[in-house]
Chain A
Amino acid sequence: MTPDEKDEFKRRQNARNWVVGGTLLFFAVLFYAITVARIGG
């Protein structure tokens, strides 16, 4: 892999990690909210 390709590899990996992390966080909050809504209902 050339240095440019290595940089691109890192950039894509980082971007994916952020998206996966954000998605997991979103679902953690969503399930908390669903639990509150269902208990309240």
Chain B
Amino acid sequence: MTASTTTLMPTEWRDFFALTKPRVMTLVVFTAICGLLAAPGSIHPVLGFTAVLAIAMGAGGSAVLNQWWEADLDAGMKRTKDRPLPGGRMRRDDARDFGMFLSGTSLVLMGVAIGWLAAALLLAAIIYYAVIYTMWLKPRTPQNIVIGGGAGAFPPLIGWVAVTGELTAMPILLFAIIFMWTPPHFWALALFVKTDYANVGIPMMPVVRGERHTRHQILAYTVLLAPIAIAPWLIGGTSWVYGSVAVVLSLMFFALAWPVGLRTRAETDPMKQEILLFKFSIAYLFVLFAALVADRVLFAHGVIGGGYFA
């Protein structure tokens, strides 16, 4: 098929779906559901489903806008060159319109069905990712991922607010956990794909400040993450069930980040420890949030008390 006929062809619906980054969406949906389930109070199942759907659509919309903006950069990276836009399977304007439509629809859905505080937070999350992170920070500073991590931290916060209708310490802590988790998670990935970022001029930490500095930062953020992950227990927002899981996971994260943070590698090093840390960081977040939900469900059914060790 020639290039001219390719552009005439209607884009496959699967490519529109792929543009929403469905794999990233699983973590977004999971943490949003956790925020929803862990919040005190209850929500009608249909409204709970709608809240999660709106969060997923908002996340998908901002992912589409991210790829619309970065199509040229994606074309230069091995990991992203086959995405629908750099792969030439979709017109750039179509991606922009789809992203705007998805984002707008998610906001209206959230506002009408759930409430306008949750919709305002969703709008903040979309702007945070699509504008502040993608357009402003990512091409300018190696601290991009630290501040940009806030975008991924919104889903449990919005899920919680969808139930309670107010912002309290617990949902802000859930936000803070993902915020602090993002740098060690992402920089572990950036260590073994740094050539890709270097090729397209994105100032990721390993490219700009060097590998050694990045490794120290991974270790520093892992240490900073631990007290925040344990804080929901310490402030009495959860019981020992969540608390003990948070302590064990924090120790494991630290044990894996320690060798990554302090070692220097040879040129031919297969980066096994970095890959292991990256994979563990994903499991860490899933298990931590699952423990939070389990804790609150057990508390709601009277299996455990509300105190530190009850």
Assembled-state Cα–Cα distance A41/B113 (Å):
12
Residues of chain A lying within 8 A (CB to CB) of residue B112: 34
Assembled-state Cα–Cα distance A40/B44 (Å):
9
A23 CB to closest chain B CB (Å) equals: 10
A32: nearest chain-B partner, CB-CB: B46
Assembled-state Cα–Cα distance A41/B5 (Å):
53
A3 CB to closest chain B CB (Å) equals: 13
B5: nearest chain-A partner, CB-CB: A5
Is the Cβ of B46 less than 8 Å from the Cβ of A13? no
Assembled-state Cα–Cα distance A34/B47 (Å):
6
B17: nearest chain-A partner, CB-CB: A19
Any A CB within 8 A of the CB of B50: yes
Within 8 A of A (CB), among B1-41: 1, 5, 8-13
Assembled-state Cα–Cα distance A16/B6 (Å):
16
Q: Point out the residue from A5, A13, A34 that lies within 8 Å of B1, measured CB to CB.
A: A5
Assembled-state Cα–Cα distance A30/B9 (Å):
32
Assembled-state Cα–Cα distance A41/B9 (Å):
47
Residues of chain A lying within 8 A (CB to CB) of residue B11: 12, 16
Is the Cβ of B13 less than 8 Å from the Cβ of A16? yes
Interface size class of A (residues with CB under 8 A): 10 to 19
B112: nearest chain-A partner, CB-CB: A34
B28 CB to closest chain A CB (Å) equals: 19
Assembled-state Cα–Cα distance A16/B41 (Å):
40
Any B CB within 8 A of the CB of A25: no
Is the Cβ of B10 less than 8 Å from the Cβ of A9? yes
Q: Point out the residue from B5, B10, B44 that lies within 8 Å of A1, measured CB to CB.
A: B5
Assembled-state Cα–Cα distance A40/B45 (Å):
12
Residues of chain B lying within 8 A (CB to CB) of residue A34: 46-47, 50, 112-113
Is the Cβ of B113 less than 8 Å from the Cβ of A12? no
Interface 1/0s, chain B 90-124, versus A by CB < 8 A? 00000000000000000000001100000000000
Interface 1/0s, chain A 2-41, versus B by CB < 8 A? 0001001100110110010000000000100110111011
Residues of chain B lying within 8 A (CB to CB) of residue A12: 9-12
Residues of chain A lying within 8 A (CB to CB) of residue B12: 12, 15-16
Assembled-state Cα–Cα distance A34/B44 (Å):
9
Assembled-state Cα–Cα distance A37/B47 (Å):
7
Residues of chain A lying within 8 A (CB to CB) of residue B8: 1, 9
Q: Point out the residue from B5, B13, B50 that lies within 8 Å of A30, measured CB to CB.
A: B50
A31 CB to closest chain B CB (Å) equals: 8
Assembled-state Cα–Cα distance A19/B8 (Å):
20
A9: nearest chain-B partner, CB-CB: B9
Is the Cβ of B47 less than 8 Å from the Cβ of A8? no
Is the Cβ of A8 less than 8 Å from the Cβ of B50? no
A30 CB to closest chain B CB (Å) equals: 7
Assembled-state Cα–Cα distance A9/B11 (Å):
9
Residues of chain B lying within 8 A (CB to CB) of residue A37: 44, 46-47
Residues of chain A lying within 8 A (CB to CB) of residue B5: 1, 5
A38 CB to closest chain B CB (Å) equals: 7
Residues of chain A lying within 8 A (CB to CB) of residue B46: 30, 33-34, 36-37
| Contact sample, A vs B, 18 pairs, CB 8 Å cutoff | A1-B5, A5-B1, A9-B8, A9-B9, A12-B9, A12-B10, A12-B12, A13-B10, A15-B13, A16-B12, A34-B50, A34-B112, A34-B113, A37-B47, A38-B47, A38-B113, A40-B44, A41-B44
